[in-house]
Amino acid sequence: MKVLVPVKRVVDYNVKVRVKSDQTGVDIANVKMSMNPFDEIAVEEATRLKEKGTVTEIVAVSCGVAQCQETLRTAMAIGADRGILVQTDEELQPLAVAKILKALADKEQPQLIILGKQAIDDDANQTGQMLAALLGWPQATFASKVEVADGKATVTREVDGGLETLALTLPAIVTTDLRLNEPRYVTLPNIMKAKKKQLDTVSPADLGVDAAPRLKTLKVTEPPSRSAGIKVPDVAALVDKLKNEAKVV
């Protein structure tokens, strides 16, 4: 069984993001970049399925600039067998990524696609759902547990009311939540092995995909700074302020 795992290169989650002075976007010059944490969970889950003997091949895919090769090498160090970079300098929005992944899925014929539920840079939470619609495959989002057997995937997912368990007929799409697993520490020997694994590079045009953005970002601003809190002498003063100033009582 073949699994396709898309991974995205994003600003590292430990970095404090700063907006450019002209408000055209986020400043990523000389900023540490890493794999999107939700995608790292997806690679780990695919690797665990392979270790169980359920999966035979893991193909990691990344879309973006040439530096995404580093992200793919990290995925291969975790456990992916090979990587595919869809290289482009254009801004890639969720629909364009979903179309690229559909073209790759048609070519690679995976039985399962596991990807992060969202990227921590745009927080769109759209790619997995759009890909499922384009392919016409069943999907299970926000997975906290995945089991694959007998041509089916049983997925426990987190919903507002608790947990929901779905049975999907393969091929299917699963998007990962934080509680699915804890990614392993990547060791130096595995990093060295990853450098020798196959990594192919294609362009959106090679796949017959128009990746032109359909949305335009008008302005990016930092959230407004919060005003300082105040102390009140007693409960009566607190109730008075909640009632007359905050008007929440």
Tokens 């090769």 belong to: 69
> Looking at the 3D structure of the chain, how many domains does it have?
1
- What's the token pair of residue 94? 């969720």
Q: What is the CATH number of the domain that holds 53?
A: 3.40.50.620
Is 249 among the domain residues?
no
* Structural domain harbouring 110: 2-244
Question: Is-contact 84 104, C-beta < 8 A?
Answer: yes
* 115 occurs within a structural domain: yes
Per-residue pLDDT tens for 72-96? 999 999 999 999 999 998 889 999 9
Q: Is 129 helix (H, G, I), strand (E, B) or coil?
A: helix
Q: Look at residue 87 and tell me if it is in a domain.
A: yes
Rounded to whole angstroms, how far apart are CA atoms 169 and 153?
6
Rounded CA Rg of the chain:
21
Mean pLDDT in residue range 237-243: 89
Render pLDDT for 83-137 as a digit per residue (tens, 0 to 9).
Answer: 999 999 888 999 999 999 999 999 999 999 999 999 998 899 999 999 999 999 9
Q: Return mean pLDDT, the chain.
A: 92
Q: Please report, for residues 74, 139, 167, 184, 226, the alpha-carbon distance to residue 143 in angstroms, rounded to integers and kept in the order given.
A: 22, 10, 12, 18, 34
Residue 80 domain-assigned (yes or no)? yes
> What does the pLDDT read at residue 127?
94
- pTM, entire model: 0.85
